[in-house]
Structure 1
Amino acid sequence: MPRAPLAVAAAGTAGVMTVVDLELVRRGRVGEVKAAVAALDDGERVALNGELLAWVKKRSENFWNGNELTALVVAVGGSAPSAAAAARVLAAARWMSPGPATADALLEVAAARSVDWVPDLAYRLSGLASRRSADPSDQLWAFIARLLAAGGHAPPADDWFVIGWLRDLYFPSVARLRSRPVVDRLREDPFLEPLLPHVFTVDGAGERLTELEAPGTRGRFAVVLALAGLAAERRVDRGVMLRGCLSRLLRGDRPGSLRGIVALLIELEPTEAEVTADAGDYLRLLADAPSSVATAAQKLLRGAPGVELDAILEASAAVLRRTDKGLVRGQLGWLEALARRHRDRAGDIAAVLGEAADHPAIELRERAGALAARLGGTAPLVAAPAMARDDDLPPPAPPAPAPPPITDPDELAEEVAAFYSGRPFTALLPLERIVDGAVRLAAADRPRLRAALLPVLERHREGMGEHGWDPRCLCGAFTGLLHAAAEPEQASARRGGWAAVLAAARRFLVLGEPMPDRRVPPIHRILRARLAEIGAHAGSAALPGGLLSAPTSANGALDTEVLLERVAALGEADAWPWDLIQALLRLPKDPDEPAAARAEAIGTPAATRLAARLRAGGLPTPQWHVELAPRRPRDRGFDYGYDGLPAARVQVTAASPPMDAERYGLPGTETYGLLNARSGPPGESEFGWHELWPGLLPWDRGLVAAYALPEIASSADLDVRGRADALLLLAETAGDPGPALPIGVAYALTARHEQDRLAGLDTLLLLAASGAFDAETAGTHLGALSAAGAVTIGRAAQPLRDAATAGAPRTVWRLLAAALPALLEAKTPPRGTPDLLTLAAETATAAPGPAEIPGLSAIAAKRGTSRLATEARRLTAALPPHST
């Protein structure tokens, strides 16, 4: 057959002679690529496959989609001699978004060649994808699924593929299927039988069962209803699903994932006989499982009268010790019903009720005590526990010293690999050590640095460029800096970008021009400027002694004597401006005249700047302004995400007092831009970069807290996980906490996720131990935010109780006394207010309280036995005489 014109040897996009012009692939000319590969002989196919692999690997931004990706897949399908060879090329094209249409093109080319390795390629790609990420790409999953389904091949049972299958049920990759009911799609799904058992073995799979709500069902889930319906039709084995649900619940998973399994178990409607047969497993769930799972088990067990009473009583002892009030309340009701049915066992039931004697909810203690008394037992203790009169907390430990600098290229390579694996870059101390080590080694032994570092950078090159969607991104700056240190010739392509960052830093931070994007605050711009400056110098004039600004303490602080030694070691060499600025900001805040005199004696420009800073002391305290700001206005048209924003958020604005910045050894005119903290209205979170900031200003934590407050608040009013961890870093630094730090603690105490509430609790205890926690400010804003509906106050009860029992009852009482007025005077007191009233009654004797808690007497005077009125009366009785 004559060779197609497009298949002749031509210069490819990389300037290398190729058997097919690779420019056709880059331009997405799918039909022409098909024609070109069809005309190749076996030798040319092998050559093209190798050329494709080399070409794809050289691509700096390895993102593939649309016709370009389809053309690449066609070229691979038309040239690869085996599934392994095809997988190597497609694996190198790391970020792919193929789909069913791309799969059809590959199947067509493979059929024309009569190759049989397409299913093997699908399995290889699925295995590769599962190793790279536990979260399937919709398009890649659809691509692999089409390759397998076309030939009737069994699907892989790995976690990645199972999760992708469940996601496809929620939003099918084939558009025409999206309007069909889920049950109809599942009924015809070729993967249903082989993959359904794995829904119960793959961690996180149950969460996918809850992604699609069935219309008109008030919160029931479409996939769950479809599976239950197919079980009723005997299209799938109901027994397999029942056993799978029970096994998954016993093994445990994330609460969000177990929610879907519980919903499926309920929809399958286990019979009394089935529950009785598995009563031991259900009782284990009742005693040990998360609250939602235990509640479902409790409901099923109560409907199965054949379960043995002794087994129920044994499980009840564990249930009554749990903190889940709804579950304990339900168990008390069940025990009361059992007491009526088994009057001869009243004493045994009363003995079990004694397990509630130490329950933190006093209303449950009272109910258990009353029931035990009726049954002839001894009533559990129901009085509020006595609290100490004052805080009893150990003094916080001093910050740990920073690790020694990195002086070996192999150690630096190991640190860089570990740092890349922990993206995003939110750990300042490892970042500082790596950057300082790169500067030192670039000056001391660049050949060894290149040999050790470049393989690591190559392995992690994917995704490490600048990310335009994240205005605070440091990935490209950090990676570019390391490249420049190892290969000076690589720095030339980045010099323009570094120069732009440095020019912007001078305009916004030195000359005081308005910042175009408030999402990138001055504190972050200083870090970006320093990284750009280091990158610009690392390829040529590296510092043998490392950075002036490298911290000597784990909290980011820099010892004055160490900085004096570093400045003296510079000699007549010029200090890098932003490196020197950062070093001055890390020095202790108090003036130090003796050290200033020693700096002045050195006589260099850097030493003169240092002397001025040591005489003047640290930055002055900003002027604070606190307000409760509403969310932004709704955009015209469709405003995605507006309704998910909090109704209001506390904002702390910092403004610079009049000052002469040159007096502090810092650039600027009358004000220094770092002191101007501004934030926009509540919006989306910004990827957690704020965790880098405490160590940049280790003596000005109130200012850092003002910058970080929007991120910390998102843990409570946007339910973002992990955003309050920065509070612990702030607690380890020093300086005036300002209003933002206690407000941040208030937000963290009401965070959605436990790790953030624990961060708030630990920060409260650390600050209280050092006498730096403003409980009144935290409480006032906690109450105001809750009354405004911006946070969920019920989440704060447990961490505050933990704080009181850990040795800070006085602090907790002061916080509650400040929070309660806004809660009690709200039109409808928020849910969780009674729990705070109970805790206030238990801590009220710990410290003198206010003369009166506004709103308390009015609620306490209400008739009835509502929990709110009962706890208000309890607090009124517990207040010291001077407070009534």
Structure 2
Amino acid sequence: MTNAWDEVRTAIDDGDAAAVAKLVIGFDEARRLEVARELPGHLPEARRAGRLKEEERERERRARWAVLVERAEREGRSVYALAELHDHPAAEPADGWMEPMRVAGAGTIAGAAAVAAWLNRRDFERGFEPLEIDDVPLILRVVAARPAAWQRDLAVRLAQRLRGSRPVADRRVRLPLALLRATGAEPPEHDPLTLAWAAATAAGELPDDPLLPVMVPRLFSAEGAGRLLRSDEGWAEALTALAADGRVERERVLAGCRGRFLRGGQAADQRFFVRLHELLDPAPEETAPHLRDYLALLASAPANVADLALRQVRRSGPVPPAEAGEAVEGLLFRPEGRLVRAGLAWLDRLLKGPAADVDAYAPALAAALVCESGEARERAVKLAVKHAGRFGPLGAETIRDAVATLPAHQGVRLAAVFGGEAASEPEPVPFVPAPLPHVPEPVPMPAARAPEALARLRLREFDWLSSEMWLDGFVRLAARPDGRERAALAGALAPLAARCDDDRYGWRPWWRTAEWAAAMARELTDPGAELRAPVEWRATVEERVPEMTHGPAGKIMPLARFAEVYRAQVEGRLPPYLLATPTRANGVLDADALVQRLEGYERDGAEALPLDLRQALLRLGRTVPAEVAARAARLTGETGRKVARWLTGRPAEPRTVLCWGTHEGDTRITSEFVSGPEYQEVLGDLLVFRFHDESCKMLLAVLAGHRELAAARSAYALKSFWPLEKPKAEDLQLLATAEGPGGPGLALVLAHFLLAGPSGGAVGPFLRLAATGGLPGEETGVQLGDLLKRGGDSPSAVIAALKAAAEQGAHRQVWQVMAGLLPACLPGPGERATSAHTRLMTFAADVAEWADARGAVAVVAETAGRRRVTELVRQARRLHHRLTGTSGELRGQGAGEPAAGPS
């Protein structure tokens, strides 16, 4: 007769958790203790058995692969075309011992604390939770046989062990929740438990959830609850319905929302509680006792909370004058224009009230007079003048103190009513243009053209420079006819050659340049190794090159170049050197060097490798001295004549089109390129659309003479929230040192970093592009306007960055940016102007003076001609006068409003 442990161990080894549950439920106390003693010692053995099972499965997989490869070779097909390749036979999981062990421990270990520790052992953790394996129902069955108090203790202990946020399907979340519901245990006050309950409970399940009365109040105090629920509208509706039915206490929910608002937090994290409060729609008699709480939210709460609080204050009835004045003052210092306008409208109504209360509102009006927004300031001046006769001596003195702080044209109007001395117009500080900084030449490309230097190079995935140096050095040394030099190279590369064994020829594709370099070294040390590899294993060179659309172009283009050189080596047609090796460390190939290499090709009778020639043209620099063009014209070969045409009459540049879209809810910026047949031949499928993010650095190494193409394609994930490769400030510097005209792609990347202000890394590249004539100024302004609209960013940081560039000599180029930015971002018909628009117009007027700009801008002329004079209109008139020289009346200018002159 077998003992208890033998029976349980057999079921564990079979991966049968249900059998384990059935056994332990029927055991008496002695047999349970016997199993509990043996369980910890069985863990290493179970792991070892699982590892052996996985190794056996891998051997079977390799054998199956070999059979499929042999069949594909026999049928002359690709192995990837065989339907059987995708038929994976069902296999028992190698870690199937985990669930039986967990069930055994839950059913036999004596103490609740020990069971909780057992179930949370790291030995039972996987990288993911398989949907088809669920031991929670079995654990619930085996613990149901324990005493009720023991079960409640276990439920609480498991709940207290929750940490962080886990997926709702995680058994560490589902098990304690199920036990708490089943046992009626009091849930511990533990924020991770509250978050787990909210994440794992659907809105439709709330009415029947026994945890509802205890857990709902904790939602309002648990850290992270707002972030978790901010996109789940179903919960807000469900809780509102439950409050209407009396299942949850309505006043407690409203109090919880208020407490959450007063605690503070980001607007997104308050979104759920704002929506819940709005759905509950408290009556004025419900909110009136809490008026002070709502007033306290007006000054500093997130905008969505302040909006809600303002609505409640309006519905709650009269507000005592002192508190009303303080609340209005808080609104007037907020950055949101709509709340400032609401505060001014409220202040206007208050000032119309009883005369005895008017002086109480003078501090709020004084705050409005020093508001950052020119529009708000102007409205405050009108309010002060309108109600001047209602202020007493104390209130009038408060207003009078603000007169000197106002701009001269507003201070004069206020001083005429309240007295005081208005500030005089400040004398403009003359702008002294500085020369653009000197741009140094890019440093030469380093070389490794000795066997020992080549052997020391390490080929790394994201180091394009070492790959180029290695390929250049290998071709130059391997193509030399001197046997001693070839022997020296073979000796130096022998360790590298040893990495390419016969099995490697059957693998496909080769994703690392180091793999290709090892094969080249093997072919050098063991000529014919490629052709001697068994046919049934060997893949062709073409099959080992990844498809161009299967990865980033900046990664696959170098692999294709290595493959091209390797094939030429195997076929005995290596050229004496490569055409595309850069001459500059920024990846650019000087025209003089390319012509010199082609002259050598024609002298030696060498043929260019097709992909090498395409790469050379993509790296070709834009400076072509007349003497170099004349030498190119004397080339007689087909390759030489083609390069000569590019040097003397380069085809029209590809046109870039950027398209904003989303992928699984995440922002993506795709790029399309329109080009003629010459560029289509050279680019090939490099820039076809693919769902891959690009490293700007790697892509620019391929497109060093075409920075616009590299910038546009690498901008794919520029605004993504996913952990993808996206352009960095260092990449913008590389784009500035590359060559080629800029367009929407370069402008977008530059604009993105201008949004970060002077310290964002854009000012230096901006100055370099300006100095070298590569700055797409107006297009940068267009992209800036688009980004400001999409992201809702403040223009303050952009203005500071552009001002820094202007002060360092790029004032004319900054004006070009503003000429593109103003039409892209100024409000159109029916749209409301904000203080941000005023700041942009003011800065544009300043820059136009610095750059001595001329030529009307339509949107500026339209704004300048508006009848209602705001600070935005005033600055637009100043700018329009600068651009056109007009000094007469503008269309719609109100009587009595002086025409704006230069400041």
Q: TM-score, normalised by structure 1?
A: 0.59
Specify every segment of 5 or more residues in structure 2 that has no aligned partner in the other structure, as ranges. 58-89, 389-398, 411-424, 441-459, 468-494, 518-540, 564-576, 597-615, 623-649, 887-903
Q: CA deviation at 1:735?
A: 0.8
Q: Which residue in 2 is equivalent to 1:93?
A: 126
* Corresponding position: 1:500 with 2:510: yes
Rounded to whole Å, the distance in 2 between the matches of 1:193 and 1:2 is: 50
Q: Which residue in 1 is equivalent to 2:174?
A: 142
| Compared CA separation, residues 274 and 812, structure 1 to 2 (3 A) | farther
1:282 and 1:301 in contact (8 A); partners too: yes
Q: How much is the aligned-residue C-alpha RMSD, in angstroms?
A: 6.1
Rounded to whole Å, the distance in 2 between the matches of 1:840 and 1:857 is: 12
| Compared CA separation, residues 115 and 392, structure 1 to 2 (3 A) | farther
Which letter does structure 2 place at the counterpart of 1:522? A
Q: Which residue in 1 is equivalent to 2:766?
A: 768
Rounded to whole Å, the distance in 1 between the matches of 2:42 and 2:503 is: 31
| Compared CA separation, residues 311 and 590, structure 1 to 2 (3 A) | farther
* Corresponding position: 1:106 with 2:110: no
* Corresponding position: 1:76 with 2:76: no
* Corresponding position: 1:225 with 2:237: yes
Map of 1:708-723 to 2, 5 A cutoff? 708-712=714-718, 714-715=719-720, 720=721
Which letter does structure 2 place at the counterpart of 1:625? P
Rounded to whole Å, the distance in 2 between the matches of 1:693 and 1:327 is: 47
User: Match for 2:231 among 197, 206, 211?
Assistant: 211
1:262-289 Cα offsets, whole Å, 9 max, x none, are 2233444556577565555434422122
Rounded to whole Å, the distance in 2 between the matches of 1:57 and 1:368 is: 77
Q: Which residue in 2 is equivalent to 1:196?
A: 216
Rounded to whole Å, the distance in 2 between the matches of 1:430 and 1:254 is: 40
Task: Please identify, of 318-327 and 767-776, the stretch whose mean Cα deviation from structure 2 is larger.
Answer: 767-776
Q: Which residue in 1 is equivalent to 2:656?
A: 627
Rounded to whole Å, the distance in 2 between the matches of 1:3 and 1:766 is: 79
Which letter does structure 2 place at the counterpart of 1:708? S
Specify every segment of 5 or more residues in structure 1 that has no aligned partner in the other structure, as ranges. 10-17, 173-181, 213-220, 399-428, 437-484, 533-576, 597-614, 633-640, 660-669
Q: CA deviation at 1:326?
A: 0.9
* Corresponding position: 1:235 with 2:247: yes
Q: Which residue in 2 is equivalent to 1:574?
A: none
Which of the two has higher C-alpha Rg?
A: 2
Rounded to whole Å, the distance in 2 between the matches of 1:775 and 1:298 is: 43
Rounded to whole Å, the distance in 1 between the matches of 2:91 and 2:285 is: 55
2:299 and 2:331 in contact (8 A); partners too: yes
Q: Which residue in 2 is equivalent to 1:792?
A: 790
User: Match for 1:309 among 289, 306, 321?
Assistant: 321
| Compared CA separation, residues 767 and 648, structure 1 to 2 (3 A) | closer
Q: Which residue in 1 is equivalent to 2:711?
A: 705
| Compared CA separation, residues 187 and 8, structure 1 to 2 (3 A) | closer
Give the secondary structure class of the aligned counterpart of 2:654. Answer: strand
1:119 and 1:147 in contact (8 A); partners too: yes
| Compared CA separation, residues 740 and 387, structure 1 to 2 (3 A) | farther
Which letter does structure 2 place at the counterpart of 1:762? G
Which letter does structure 1 place at the counterpart of 2:180? L
Which letter does structure 1 place at the counterpart of 2:310? Q
1:287 and 1:315 in contact (8 A); partners too: yes
Rounded to whole Å, the distance in 1 between the matches of 2:509 and 2:668 is: 41
1:606-631 Cα offsets, whole Å, 9 max, x none, are xxxxxxxxx99976469853333557
Q: CA deviation at 1:521?
A: 1.9
1:205-233 Cα offsets, whole Å, 9 max, x none, are 12344434xxxxxxxx4322332443444
Rounded to whole Å, the distance in 2 between the matches of 1:866 and 1:646 is: 39
1:585 and 1:697 in contact (8 A); partners too: no
Which letter does structure 2 place at the counterpart of 1:78? A
Rounded to whole Å, the distance in 1 between the matches of 2:171 and 2:676 is: 49
Q: CA deviation at 1:307?
A: 4.0
2:695 and 2:714 in contact (8 A); partners too: yes
Which letter does structure 2 place at the counterpart of 1:516? E
Q: Which residue in 1 is equivalent to 2:840?
A: 839
2:748 and 2:784 in contact (8 A); partners too: yes
Which letter does structure 1 place at the counterpart of 2:242? L
Rounded to whole Å, the distance in 2 between the matches of 1:76 and 1:697 is: 55
Q: Which residue in 2 is equivalent to 1:814?
A: 816
Rounded to whole Å, the distance in 2 between the matches of 1:655 and 1:506 is: 33
| Compared CA separation, residues 356 and 33, structure 1 to 2 (3 A) | same
* Corresponding position: 1:362 with 2:374: yes
Q: Which residue in 1 is equivalent to 2:900?
A: none
* Corresponding position: 1:152 with 2:162: no
* Corresponding position: 1:758 with 2:756: yes
Q: Which residue in 2 is equivalent to 1:340?
A: 352
Which letter does structure 1 place at the counterpart of 2:225? A
| Compared CA separation, residues 721 and 47, structure 1 to 2 (3 A) | closer
Which letter does structure 2 place at the counterpart of 1:779? G
Which letter does structure 2 place at the counterpart of 1:817? A
| Compared CA separation, residues 678 and 647, structure 1 to 2 (3 A) | closer
Rounded to whole Å, the distance in 2 between the matches of 1:511 and 1:492 is: 17
2:337 and 2:834 in contact (8 A); partners too: no
| Compared CA separation, residues 746 and 235, structure 1 to 2 (3 A) | same
| Compared CA separation, residues 825 and 237, structure 1 to 2 (3 A) | closer
Q: CA deviation at 1:253?
A: 2.5
Task: Please identify, of 32-41 and 227-236, the stretch whose mean Cα deviation from structure 2 is larger.
Answer: 32-41
Map of 1:391-470 to 2, 5 A cutoff? none
Q: TM-score, normalised by structure 2?
A: 0.58
1:45 and 1:79 in contact (8 A); partners too: yes
Give the secondary structure class of the aligned counterpart of 2:248. Answer: coil
1:122 and 1:144 in contact (8 A); partners too: yes
Rounded to whole Å, the distance in 2 between the matches of 1:729 and 1:629 is: 22
Give the secondary structure class of the aligned counterpart of 2:192. Answer: helix
Q: CA deviation at 1:802?
A: 4.5
Rounded to whole Å, the distance in 2 between the matches of 1:312 and 1:238 is: 28
Rounded to whole Å, the distance in 2 between the matches of 1:724 and 1:309 is: 56
Rounded to whole Å, the distance in 2 between the matches of 1:125 and 1:157 is: 13
Rounded to whole Å, the distance in 1 between the matches of 2:726 and 2:100 is: 48
Give the secondary structure class of the aligned counterpart of 2:655. Answer: strand
1:626 and 1:650 in contact (8 A); partners too: no
1:692-738 Cα offsets, whole Å, 9 max, x none, are 759979988656523311111x45xxxx3787973423244451476
| Compared CA separation, residues 294 and 748, structure 1 to 2 (3 A) | farther
Rounded to whole Å, the distance in 1 between the matches of 2:832 and 2:749 is: 17
| Compared CA separation, residues 431 and 352, structure 1 to 2 (3 A) | farther
| Compared CA separation, residues 159 and 54, structure 1 to 2 (3 A) | farther
Rounded to whole Å, the distance in 2 between the matches of 1:760 and 1:494 is: 51
| Compared CA separation, residues 835 and 137, structure 1 to 2 (3 A) | same
Q: Which residue in 2 is equivalent to 1:255?
A: 267
Task: Please identify, of 120-129 and 230-239, the stretch whose mean Cα deviation from structure 2 is larger.
Answer: 120-129
Rounded to whole Å, the distance in 1 between the matches of 2:868 and 2:818 is: 23
Give the secondary structure class of the aligned counterpart of 1:628. Answer: strand
1:303-324 Cα offsets, whole Å, 9 max, x none, are 3445443344334434323321
Rounded to whole Å, the distance in 2 between the matches of 1:90 and 1:729 is: 43
User: Match for 1:185 among 205, 209, 215?
Assistant: 205
1:284 and 1:315 in contact (8 A); partners too: yes
Give the secondary structure class of the aligned counterpart of 1:203. Answer: coil
Rounded to whole Å, the distance in 1 between the matches of 2:656 and 2:177 is: 53
Rounded to whole Å, the distance in 1 between the matches of 2:118 and 2:250 is: 43
Q: Which residue in 2 is equivalent to 1:286?
A: 298
Report the number of matched residues. 665
| Compared CA separation, residues 153 and 585, structure 1 to 2 (3 A) | farther
Give the secondary structure class of the aligned counterpart of 1:78. Answer: helix
